[in-house]
Amino acid sequence: MQKLTLTRPDDWHLHLRDGAALKAVLPHTVHQFARAIIMPNLKPPVRSVADAAAYRDRILAAIPAGQRFEPLMTLYLTDNTSPEDILAAKASEFVKAVKYYPAGATTNSDLGVTDIRKCDRVFEAMQQVDIPLLLHGEVTDPEVDTFDREKVFIEQHLAPLKSRFPKLRVVLEHITTSDAVQFVLANDTIAATITPQHLLFNRNSLFKGGIRPHFYCLPILKREEHRQALLQAATSGNPKFFLGTDSAPHTRSSKETSCGCAGCYSALHAMALYAEAFESVDALEKLEAFASFHGPDFYQLPRNTDQITLTKTTWRIPDEVPFPESGLVPLGAGQELTWQMARY
Ligand code: NCD
Ligand code: ZN
């Protein structure tokens, strides 16, 4: 196959940041995707509908002239989020979901939830008005091994949450384990996003010939058997699994340091990365539904009607793209890809 034409996809988990960083990365997303679920972990986080409206305006203002893109906003859940905030979100029409970060789990999560049970009144309201809950599904207990934090979250927090709120629609974000795949498959109202890094790389990539900070994201890359389980889920055609890049830009200097930030930058070449992953298991024909149908169906939004085309061309992922301060290193920098989006 030399050309791959798909219904235009959407990115159901994206970090755009703000200010000059937002301006630097947004064109990459807009080139490929019509819409994206925008993560609220700014400093300070997007906690209210008013915060989300202001952030949405800044995103709209940063869209390159003549292009179209719809940011789908989320609220950052804290111990102080109220049921009234949920009703306001539902009434807003542009807030599409609420994001749960366990306090301290990842980048800019200090104001996240300290105990998930504290949010039961909020979850009740979300279940009632049918707003999806997006989960960063990792425990933060320092006693729990980093590589087990997703599995333990599912057992200790997600399974009980599902029993308390059986109708609450949940997206387990950026799943990384076969345990997560099994849990999603077994529970009606749960879906999951899958990133390109977790489809293409296992944890060996973190240590190949030395420590490789640009493969460090959270949840961390896992063993090969888990990568295989994710590939199987993504290419299964099951509508519970859909595209969410978790593209999370950090400056080169904040990653190449003694205590580097978590996050992989994939917005530059996301569709080429996913095409590579799907082709590796001979499942390119399943890419369109994963990238363009399952997400809007879950969010009860119309599917896009225009198309994108990727061509079979070998090209090298650049070592760096322009970004404020010290530049931005894309996922897999220096490696070759065999699919490419039409040029800018
Ligand atoms: C994200 C970021 O940098 O905002 N980092 C990451 O490793 N995925 C936060 C998150 O989604 O965990
Ligand atoms: Zn994320």
Active-site choice (246, 282, 306, 319): 246
Tokens matching residue 116: 């998930």
Confidence at residue 40, expressed as pLDDT on a 0 to 100 scale: 98
Q: Tens digit of pLDDT for each residue in 180-219? A: 999 999 999 999 999 999 999 999 999 999 999 999 999 9
Domain ranges of the chain: 7-306
Known active-site residue 246? yes
pLDDT of residue 141 exceeding 90, the answer is yes
Residue 171, strand partner residues: 134, 191
Q: Does the beta carbon of 217 lie inside 6 Å of ligand 1? A: yes
Q: Does the beta carbon of 107 lie inside 6 Å of ligand 1? A: yes
Q: Does the beta carbon of 78 lie inside 6 Å of ligand 1? A: no
Among 191, 195, 193, CA closest to 298: 191
pLDDT of residue 343 exceeding 80, the answer is no
Q: Tens digit of pLDDT for each residue in 308-337? A: 999 999 999 999 999 999 999 999 999 999
What residue owns the CA closest to ligand 1's atom 9? 107
Confidence at residue 193, expressed as pLDDT on a 0 to 100 scale: 99
Contact indicator for 213, 262 with CB cutoff of 8 Å: no
Confidence at residue 20, expressed as pLDDT on a 0 to 100 scale: 98
The dihedral region occupied by 32, where left means phi > 0, alpha psi between -120 and 50, and beta the remainder, is: alpha
Q: Tens digit of pLDDT for each residue in 54-113? A: 999 999 999 999 999 999 999 999 999 999 999 999 999 999 999 999 998 888 888 899
Q: Tens digit of pLDDT for each residue in 235-289? A: 999 999 999 999 999 999 999 999 999 999 999 999 999 999 999 999 999 999 9
- Residues around ion ligand 2, judged by CB within 5 A, are 246
Task: Please give the single-letter amino acid code of residue 246.
Answer: D
Distance in angstroms between the alpha carbons of the first and the last residue of the chain: 22
Ligand 2 centroid–CA 2 distance in Å is 32
Burial classification of residue 156, based on how many CB atoms lie within 10 Å of its CB (0-12 exposed, 13-18 middle, 19 or more buried): middle
Q: Which atom of ligand 1 is nearest to the CA of 41?
A: 4
The dihedral region occupied by 91, where left means phi > 0, alpha psi between -120 and 50, and beta the remainder, is: alpha
Rounded average pLDDT over 150-179: 98
What residue owns the CA closest to ligand 1's atom 11? 246
Pocket residue to mutate for ligand 1, from 11, 15, 46, most atoms within 8 A of Cβ: 15
- Verify cis geometry, omega within 30 degrees of 0, for the bond prior to 219: yes
Alpha helices in the chain (DSSP H): 19-32, 49-62, 83-92, 120-129, 149-153, 159-164, 178-186, 196-200, 224-234, 252-255, 270-280, 287-288, 294-299
Among 33, 63, 51, CA closest to 98: 51
Indicate the pairing of strand 190-194 with strand 241-243. Answer: parallel
- At residue 247, φ and ψ (nearest 5 deg) are -55, 120
Ligand 1 centroid–CA 5 distance in Å is 30
Pocket residue to mutate for ligand 1, from 106, 153, 175, most atoms within 8 A of Cβ: 106
DSSP, residue by residue, 121-171: HHHHHHHHHT-PEEE------TTS-GGGHHHHHIIIIIHHHHHH-TT--EE
| Tally of CA atoms within 13 A in the half-sphere of 266 that contains its CB | 28
Percent of the chain with pLDDT over 90: 97
pLDDT of residue 148 exceeding 90, the answer is yes
- Superfamily of domain 7-306 in CATH is Metal-dependent hydrolases (3.20.20.140)
Confidence at residue 344, expressed as pLDDT on a 0 to 100 scale: 52
pLDDT of residue 33 exceeding 70, the answer is yes
Q: Tens digit of pLDDT for each residue in 74-85? A: 999 999 999 999
Confidence at residue 109, expressed as pLDDT on a 0 to 100 scale: 85
Mean pLDDT, rounded, of the chain: 97
Tokens matching residue 194: 């899958």
